[in-house]
Amino acid sequence: MPNLLFTEAEWDFAALDRTYKAIEEIALGDLKLDVYPNQVEVISSEQMLDAYSSLGMPLMYNHWSFGKLFAREDTLYRAGYTALAYEIVINSSPCISYLLEENTMTMQALVMAHAAFGHNHFFKNNYLFRQWTNAEGILDYLAFAKRYIAACEERHGREEVEAVLDAAHALMDQGVFRYRRPPKPSKERVLEKRRRRAEYEEEAYNELWRTLPAGIEPPATPPTPDDDDGFGGDMKLPEENLLYFLEKHSPTLKAWQRETLRIVRNLAQYFYPQRQTKVMNEGCATFVHHAIMNMMYDRGLITEGSLLEFLHSHTSVVFQPEFSDKRYSGINPYALGFAMMTDIRRIAEAPTAEDRDWFPQLAGSGDWVGALKDAWANYRDESFIEQFLSPKLMRDFRLFALFDKADDEAYTVSAIHNEGGYRKVRSLLARQYDAGASDPNIQVVGANLKGDRKLFLEHHMHRGVPLHHATKDLVLTHIEHLWGHEVAFEEVAD
């Protein structure tokens, strides 16, 4: 056939280019996707491991925990326990996706469809990413972070910096704004300027210390033009973002330590939408690659052999073991996301009577592209499941809900995939994907800045579930390190 894009398993850049153009035509023309410009990079397996261990980012500041991650991944990979990632894609503009050099040409096509169009569209359009991350600025910001941390290590010693980073990493889950919009990660230039000012202040501040006669306290708050820098200022309590609070109000941190906290906090915020949209993000990418690969086959652009190779890897990606299976490790986001999106298409094109009851607007509308684009843009995992999980899918997955009370000897089955249980199972599953509910709710409720400088934290327990004891104590030591004074912690029942 003259139309075939490639026939060999080996890839070359010409074939990549041809295939990319064909994929692009389908993605933009048929699926009407809207994407950032793409940058596709070919890397070796070792570089893939490198990328893994720096949280999937192309550049990252240095810290031992990334070395630990690398060591772990490297060991597992070498022992053959894990295969390398399907792909890595970065929420940035241009959107960077990595192709592994060992992939066959079919796999390269699959990965381009998956990452460069599926994920890319999701990053660009989903409301969480649009509101909370800054795709244009992230790479500049990481470059700044890397330089800044390196400079701090040089100036203040590696151990000092490590101590702050350790503590900040421990609080990463508590370093995000869940409800109020965070300040955008500023461009490097702005931060450089701010850093210089902070450094100047630090020096001036030290001067002040030295010249003051003994017995006289330095001013409680250094004179700063805005309360964005330096500690003190108006505390807005309670505060759920511990890193933000410590950065702004810790009485002991130096300017560079505050900046370090800010870096970690910005990263945490950048990754937060990904945590909330795992099912949708992977579902979107998987749905897109599945649609594109099939259309390419239908149009005679790829061979039957390629299609089979693609289907083989596709099915292993969307495989969902049952709960009693040894391989079970939670619900596979690829499987659930892909199934739900395929289901939306089915409901739009060939609804059953049940679908008409449950999804009166969507059923039979025929516009599955529009429906999916709307879902991708305006939902996160929790709301997506609450809205779109159909009874048919619950039956397909044979979902059931368990109730677990710590003191009981047994779990109780509270609902299953039947007429009486659909709504309950769906709500409970949706709740399971609510990052706000699965993360412990910890807040700063007070800080005694004038007196003994004690910091008061509260954990608002949800349904009586306490914090894991040993790790709590370890994290508290980190908080004390950052706060510099005693920290009181209380678990409050709801």
Q: Give, as ranges, the residues between 92 and 121 that touch another protein (CB under 8 A).
A: 94, 101, 116
Rounded to whole angstroms, the Cα distance separating 345 from 291 reads 11
Rounded to whole angstroms, the Cα distance separating 373 from 390 reads 18
Count of residues binding another protein (CB under 8 A)? 101
360 binds another protein, rule: CB under 8 A:
no
Count other C-beta atoms under 10 Å from residue 80's C-beta: 7
Using CB under 8 A, pick the residue from 22, 24, 87, 447 that binds another protein: 24
The answer to whether 405 touches 387, Cβ cutoff 8 Å, is no
Using CB under 8 A, pick the residue from 25, 28, 55, 70 that binds another protein: 70
Give 32 or 68: the residue with its C-beta nearer to another protein: 68
75 binds another protein, rule: CB under 8 A:
yes
Using CB under 8 A, pick the residue from 172, 235, 311, 445 that binds another protein: 172
Using CB under 8 A, pick the residue from 398, 423, 448, 488 that binds another protein: 398
Q: Which residue has the tokens 């999980």?
A: 389
Count, residues in the chain? 494
Using CB under 8 A, pick the residue from 22, 145, 170, 268 that binds another protein: 170
Rounded to whole angstroms, the Cα distance separating 76 from 141 reads 31
Q: Which residue has the tokens 């460069």?
A: 116
Rounded to whole angstroms, the Cα distance separating 15 from 296 reads 14
Using CB under 8 A, pick the residue from 47, 294, 303, 352 that binds another protein: 47
Give 64 or 200: the residue with its C-beta nearer to another protein: 64
Residue (of 145, 351, 157) closest to 259 by Cα position:
145
Residues ≥6 apart with Cβ < 8 Å to 331: 320
Rounded to whole angstroms, the Cα distance separating 467 from 472 reads 7
The burial class, CB within 10 Å (0-12 / 13-18 / 19+), for 146 is middle
475 binds another protein, rule: CB under 8 A:
yes
Tell the smallest beta-carbon distance from residue 454 to another protein (Å): 20
480 binds another protein, rule: CB under 8 A:
no
Q: Which stretch binds another protein (CB under 8 A): 126-134, 362-370, 409-417, 448-456?
A: 409-417
43 binds another protein, rule: CB under 8 A:
yes
Alpha-carbon torsion, ordered 462, 463, 469, 471, to 10 deg? -40
Residues ≥6 apart with Cβ < 8 Å to 433: 276, 278, 279, 380, 381, 382, 385
Using CB under 8 A, pick the residue from 32, 158, 184, 193 that binds another protein: 158
Tell the smallest beta-carbon distance from residue 115 to another protein (Å): 12
Rounded to whole angstroms, the Cα distance separating 133 from 353 reads 41
Per CB under 8 A, which of residues 415..434 are in contact with another protein? 415-417, 420-421, 425, 428-429, 431-432
Using CB under 8 A, pick the residue from 278, 346, 460, 472 that binds another protein: 472
Q: Which residue has the tokens 């500041």?
A: 61
Tell the smallest beta-carbon distance from residue 332 to another protein (Å): 9
Using CB under 8 A, pick the residue from 295, 318, 331, 340 that binds another protein: 331
Tell the smallest beta-carbon distance from residue 443 to another protein (Å): 12
Q: Which residue has the tokens 């906290």?
A: 261
Tell the smallest beta-carbon distance from residue 397 to another protein (Å): 4
Q: Which stretch binds another protein (CB under 8 A): 228-236, 262-270, 275-283, 473-481?
A: 473-481
Rounded to whole angstroms, the Cα distance separating 159 from 455 reads 25
Per CB under 8 A, which of residues 440..459 are in contact with another protein? 440, 442, 459
Give 138 or 149: the residue with its C-beta nearer to another protein: 149
10 binds another protein, rule: CB under 8 A:
no
The answer to whether 453 touches 251, Cβ cutoff 8 Å, is yes
Tell the smallest beta-carbon distance from residue 418 to another protein (Å): 8
Residues ≥6 apart with Cβ < 8 Å to 70: 49, 50, 52, 53
Rounded to whole angstroms, the Cα distance separating 201 from 203 reads 5
Q: Which residue has the tokens 């893939």?
A: 48
50 binds another protein, rule: CB under 8 A:
yes
Tell the smallest beta-carbon distance from residue 389 to another protein (Å): 10
Tell the smallest beta-carbon distance from residue 338 to another protein (Å): 14
Using CB under 8 A, pick the residue from 180, 210, 450, 463 that binds another protein: 463
φ, ψ for residue 90 (rounded to 5)? Answer: -115, 130
Identify the DSSP state of 36: P
Q: Which pairing describes strands 95-100 and 88-90: parallel, antiparallel, or unpaired?
A: antiparallel
Give 98 or 379: the residue with its C-beta nearer to another protein: 98
Give 200 or 411: the residue with its C-beta nearer to another protein: 411
Binding-site string for another protein from residue 261 to residue 300, where x marks contact by CB under 8 A and - marks none = ----------------------------------------
Residue (of 331, 363, 320) closest to 344 by Cα position:
363
217 binds another protein, rule: CB under 8 A:
no
Using CB under 8 A, pick the residue from 3, 9, 29, 72 that binds another protein: 72
